[in-house]
């Protein structure tokens, strides 16, 4: 599975292939059933259902007071004002790692809830990716737009302490993985994965490096979904 850098990511967290300790956000030649964006309508879901799905990304003690954003035909919009600094949304496929064969898969749903620090960097990136996608931009144009915006300072770089929850049973990454596992994601500026023990034998931490975004993401599977149910799955 690949990480959602934004949410987007992502974590989304988190799509299609086995993770390596040095995953890089570099386009790879892959075959895809979705070589370009599908009609916008295929990515939409009813507003109330999307709010509920977004909130399912984190425990109710967090999600009930979080800001909730929903995807519309013109982009992401705030549907519910929050009071605790968290921001929950359902990332779409273009929040995946570049080169992922599901980058335009209209079935992808990635509920994710960012703490306040993560929201400062990851929500604007989600908005930027979506803006370029809706303007007809290709995957490579989205990547270049992010690189340019981050280099210019128009998009902020993640700060230490940035965290997201991806604990929803309603997550859909692809046909093979469904929701994968409930997990947390930590966003930090570029760093050595081994400083966290990521990718080492029997380590529970998975690491991703995204040079264009000056970002490192650490993903940690956990045992329970947002509703408290125990996860019975196992990582690939």
- Condensed to tens digits (0 to 9), the pLDDT of residues 62-120 reads 999 999 999 999 999 999 999 999 999 999 999 999 999 999 999 999 999 999 999 99
- Digit-coded pLDDT (tens) for 49-60: 999 999 999 999
Does residue 13 belong to any structural domain of this protein? yes
In a domain, 168, yes or no: yes
- Write out pLDDT tens, residues 197-213: 999 999 999 999 999 89
Q: Which of 58-62, 217-221, 229-233 has the lowest mean pLDDT?
A: 229-233
158 lies in some domain: yes
Q: What is the pTM of this model?
A: 0.88
Q: Which structural domain, as residue segments, surrounds residue 140? A: 5-221
Task: Identify the band that residue 14 occupies on the pLDDT scale cut at 50, 70 and 90.
Answer: very low
pLDDT of res. 3: 53
Range name among 34-38, 147-151, 178-182, 207-211 with the lowest pLDDT average = 178-182
Domain assignment present for 226: no
Q: Is residue 232 part of a domain?
A: no
- Count: domains in the chain: 1
Question: Per mean pLDDT, which range of 5-19, 158-172, 190-204 is the poorest?
Answer: 5-19
Between 54 and 24, whose confidence is greater?
A: 54
Asked if the structure places residue 117 within a domain, the reply is yes
Residue-by-residue DSSP string for the chain: ----EETBEEBB---SS---TTEE--------S-SSPPPGGGG---HHHHHHHHHTTS-HHHHTTSEEEEEETTEEEEEE--SSS-EEEEE-GGGSPTT-TTTT-TT-BEEEEE-HHHHHHHHHHHHHHHHHHHTT--HHHHHHHHHHHHHHTSSPPPPTTEEEEE--TT-BS-TTTTT---EEEEEEES--GGGGTTTSTT-S-EEEEEGGGTEEEEEEE-SB-TTSPBP-----
Assess if residue 234 is contained within a domain: no
- Give percent of the chain above pLDDT 90: 80
């Amino acid at each position: 599975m690949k990480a959602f850098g934004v949410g987007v990511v992502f974590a989304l967290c988190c799509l299609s292939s086995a993770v390596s300790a040095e995953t890089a956000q570099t386009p790879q030649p892959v075959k895809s059933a979705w070589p370009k964006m599908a009609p916008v309508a295929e990515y939409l879901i009813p507003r109330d259902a999307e709010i509920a799905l977004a909130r399912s990304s984190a425990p109710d003690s967090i999600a009930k007071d979080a800001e909730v954003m929903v995807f519309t035909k013109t982009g992401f919009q705030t549907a519910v004002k929050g009071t605790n600094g968290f921001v929950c949304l359902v990332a779409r496929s273009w929040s995946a790692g570049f080169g992922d064969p599901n980058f335009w898969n209209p079935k992808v749903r990635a509920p994710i809830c960012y703490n306040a620090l993560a929201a400062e960097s990851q929500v604007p990136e989600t908005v930027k990716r979506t803006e370029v996608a809706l303007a007809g931009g290709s995957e490579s144009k989205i990547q270049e737009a992010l690189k340019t915006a981050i280099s210019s300072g128009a998009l902020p770089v993640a700060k230490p302490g940035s965290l997201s929850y991806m604990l929803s049973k309603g997550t859909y990454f692809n046909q093979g993985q469904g929701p994968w596992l409930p997990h947390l994601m930590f966003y930090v500026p570029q760093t050595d994965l081994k400083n966290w023990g990521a990718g080492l034998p029997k380590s529970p931490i998975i690491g991703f490096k995204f040079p264009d975004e000056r970002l490192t993401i650490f993903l940690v599977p956990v045992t329970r979904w947002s509703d408290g149910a125990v996860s019975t799955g196992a990582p690939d």
